[in-house]
Structure 1
Amino acid sequence: MNNELIHLNHISKSFGDKVVLDDLDLVIHENEFVTLLGPSGCGKTTTLRILAGFESPDKGSVIFEGKDITNLPPNKRQLNTVFQNYALFTHMNVAENIAFGLNIKKKSKSYIEDKIHYALKLVGLEGFEKRSVSNLSGGQQQRIAIARAIVNEPRVLLLDEPLGALDLKLRQDMQYELIRMKNELKITFIYVTHDQQEALTMSDTIVVMNQGYIQQMGSPESIYNEPENAFVADFIGDSNLFPAVFVRDELIRIDGVEFACVDKGFGTNKPVDIVIRPEDVELVAPEKGTISGTVTDLIFKGVHYEMCIDVNGREWVAHSTKPHIVGEKVGIHVDPFNIQVMNKPESEDEEAAGANE
């Protein structure tokens, strides 16, 4: 892993009676693409604003390269922010928008022109210098906002849901553009979104947040394949999330039916939560399944079919390239490696704190 660049050291923040961040502790490394992911109100944008210097924490400190910058104003930090609404100046053309920060720093005219040319080339908008920003598309405005940030040569680029206003196809295109830019610029990206697919596509590290706590932090693969609690399992991707009983090591019971698993150490006959991804639900002949049920819904999703199966009143969801018609009886088989066992929270506070408890 690269060198530690940022440490959000036990940050707490409240607005009135509402606790937005509760003892958040987060380390970010150099040249990492980190995504803060979670539902509205989880604290991800407040975290970004504290890092940028637009908010002050009630407790804790912001450490940058080993130095405390908690009380440093935004313009003195080696970070630049790209907002969801882009915050472009409509009375200025593209070049003037990009040069705004450089002019404040009193950079030379030739330096500024070189930087504008470089930034526009990087975001794929060469020749747009004289255009009015109000005549640009949403995607073009977003690129100009990024260009304006990167000409200041920040060590860290903060992006607060910058693709939120774009249509799906453009969002997907810009995701790949951001990955390319990050690799070319060799700087740290910290990205805020509530879009799980966006996080899975772009990130080196995903930080899943809820109610002011970090629920889980890790690579996209580990977050998706090994969620640590029910919130993460439900928030990241489609899932079959069921209560179960951990009978003993490598054996669980779902609705009275025993399934082999590979997990150990959860105790004996202990209530747990389990997650099985829909693509890991294998539909077989009724007599060959561990359990069987009836198909109640069939939806074509383009690359696969999504089917809902009623099993004694509990709904299972399966993804497969082979459709099974509504009303058909099917068996369900799940490979032991594809059953993820998680501790069941014993209180609401423990559920909110998730993996931090």
Structure 2
Amino acid sequence: MAKDLILLENISKAYGDQVILDDLNLSIHENSFVTILGPSGCGKTTTLRIIGGFESPDSGRVIFDGKDITSLAPNKRQLNTVFQKYALFTHMTIAENIAFGLKIKNKTDQYIKDKIKYALKLVNLEGFEKRMPDSLSGGQQQRVAIARAIVNEPKVLLLDEPLGALDLKLRQDMQYELIRLKNELGITFIYVTHDQEEALTMSDHIVVMNQGYIQQEGSPETIYNEPENAFVADFIGDSNIIPAVMVRDELVNILGTNFACVDKGFGENKPVDVVIRPEDVELVKAGSGTLPGVVKNVIFKGVHYEMEVEAGGYEWLVHSTRMAEAGREIDICVDPFNIQVMKKPQSEDEEAIAIDV
């Protein structure tokens, strides 16, 4: 079992009256790829900056490899940061940029030369030593920023939305590069983004944040398939989030119709929310399914058709490789395993508060 490399214990941070982090607790395993995911203002970048030593918490502790580093300066920590704005020195060559941290540490010329060569090979930029940053593309500059970070042999690499400035194709290419680098280097990556696809593609472990709280954490598969509240379900991919009533164990009433499910322990005749992913909604011949409806709109998305279906007074989002034309009467079916039942929050505060996982 992987050991905890970083522990955030009861971390709180506020700027004036605005609370950014509220009693946050988080453990990060050694050699994992952890993504902190959430909308703007949720506290994810502040969390990263506190780990990196660029911000100090108002209360709480940062434990690194068993030692309290809460008050330790950034350059004294065994980690490096790659920012969205690459922060390359424009008057220096690529080699000089990569060597900068090593020269501060008074490494020998031969050591620095070997490290530059190793790092450039690792990021597929061999032969770029004498080039200047402004002669490189955005993706190449990002690779240099990563090379500059990894030559210092950090135990942890912090990445603050590092792909945000790249176009879609480059961003996708760099996602695979980062996964490869993580596997080759065998170090811990902590990645901050608001992009759900990036999080699902690259991570071993995802931490979903909102309003200064951790809403849910777990593997990409768990986060996507078993969201624990409506915020997570809505933020991670497309979802049908519908008010319902838990009739009894393994039976939920959705829009006036009973659906079999696999959830238990919610009580009898209790209000709940259900999450059903668009790809889990099956359209069948009228009269042969569970809930009757009518197809309202159809859009071809390349890998699937996206359809809006009105059924039970609710507009369902449906993804399918088989098209049902607009105006067609159909029935909706959902496999019991694909209905995710969630407790309905009793207040706005309860919606924001972290859920124990």
Say yes or no: TM over 0.5: yes
Q: SS at 2:323's partner residue?
A: coil
Q: Deviations over 1:21-64 (max 9, x none)?
A: 00100000100000000000000000000000000000100000
Trace 1:24-63 onto structure 2 (pairs within 5 A): 24-63=24-63
- Give the aligned residue type for 1:269: N
Distance 1:272 1:33 in 2: 33
Superposed structure 1 runs of 4+ greater than 3 Å apart: none
Distance 1:284 1:255 in 2: 18
- Give the aligned residue type for 1:46: T
Q: SS at 1:153's partner residue?
A: coil
Scaled by the length of structure 2, the TM-score of the pair is 0.99
| 1:240 maps to 2:231 | no
Q: Deviations over 1:98-153 (max 9, x none)?
A: 00100111111000000000000000000000001011100000000000000000
Distance 2:47 2:312 in 1: 44
Tell me the residue number matched to 2:144. 144
Distance 1:166 1:192 in 2: 15
Gaps of 5+ in 1: none
Tell me the residue number matched to 2:334. 334
Total equivalences in the alignment: 357
Q: Percent identity?
A: 75
Q: Deviations over 1:146-204 (max 9, x none)?
A: 00000000000000000000011111110000000000000000000000000000000
| 1:281 maps to 2:285 | no
Q: Deviations over 1:311-335 (max 9, x none)?
A: 1431101111111111111110001
- Give the aligned residue type for 1:32: S
Query: Given that residues 229 and 354 in structure 1 are in contact (C-alpha distance below 8 angstroms), is that contact kept between their aligned partners in structure 2?
Result: no
- Give the aligned residue type for 1:272: V
Trace 1:176-255 onto structure 2 (pairs within 5 A): 176-255=176-255
Larger mean Cα displacement after TM superposition, 286-295 or 195-204: 286-295
Tell me the residue number matched to 1:290. 290
- Give the aligned residue type for 1:195: D
Structure 1 residue 254: deviation in Å?
A: 1.1
Larger mean Cα displacement after TM superposition, 70-79 or 298-307: 298-307
| 1:161 maps to 2:161 | yes
Cα pair distance change 1:354/1:287, threshold 3 Å: farther
Q: Deviations over 1:300-351 (max 9, x none)?
A: 1111111110114311011111111111111100010100001111011110
Query: Given that residues 295 and 327 in structure 1 are in contact (C-alpha distance below 8 angstroms), is that contact kept between their aligned partners in structure 2?
Result: yes
Structure 1 residue 354: deviation in Å?
A: 4.2
Tell me the residue number matched to 1:4. 4
- Give the aligned residue type for 1:223: I
- Give the aligned residue type for 1:188: T
- Give the aligned residue type for 1:98: I
Q: Deviations over 1:239-266 (max 9, x none)?
A: 1111111111001111111111000000
Q: SS at 1:130's partner residue?
A: coil
Distance 2:100 2:308 in 1: 54
Distance 2:146 2:266 in 1: 47
Tell me the residue number matched to 1:76. 76
- Give the aligned residue type for 2:341: V
Tell me the residue number matched to 1:267. 267
Structure 1 residue 356: deviation in Å?
A: 4.3
Distance 1:321 1:250 in 2: 29
- Give the aligned residue type for 1:322: R
| 1:22 maps to 2:22 | yes
Gaps of 5+ in 2: none
Query: Given that residues 256 and 312 in structure 2 are in contact (C-alpha distance below 8 angstroms), is that contact kept between their aligned partners in structure 1?
Result: no
Q: SS at 1:288's partner residue?
A: coil
Distance 2:297 2:114 in 1: 58
Q: SS at 2:287's partner residue?
A: helix
Structure 1 residue 292: deviation in Å?
A: 1.3
Query: Given that residues 243 and 272 in structure 1 are in contact (C-alpha distance below 8 angstroms), is that contact kept between their aligned partners in structure 2?
Result: yes
Tell me the residue number matched to 2:302. 302
Scaled by the length of structure 1, the TM-score of the pair is 0.99
| 1:129 maps to 2:129 | yes
Query: Given that residues 291 and 312 in structure 2 are in contact (C-alpha distance below 8 angstroms), is that contact kept between their aligned partners in structure 1?
Result: no
Query: Given that residues 13 and 59 in structure 1 are in contact (C-alpha distance below 8 angstroms), is that contact kept between their aligned partners in structure 2?
Result: yes
Larger mean Cα displacement after TM superposition, 150-159 or 307-316: 307-316
Q: CA RMSD in A?
A: 0.9
Query: Given that residues 8 and 27 in structure 1 are in contact (C-alpha distance below 8 angstroms), is that contact kept between their aligned partners in structure 2?
Result: yes
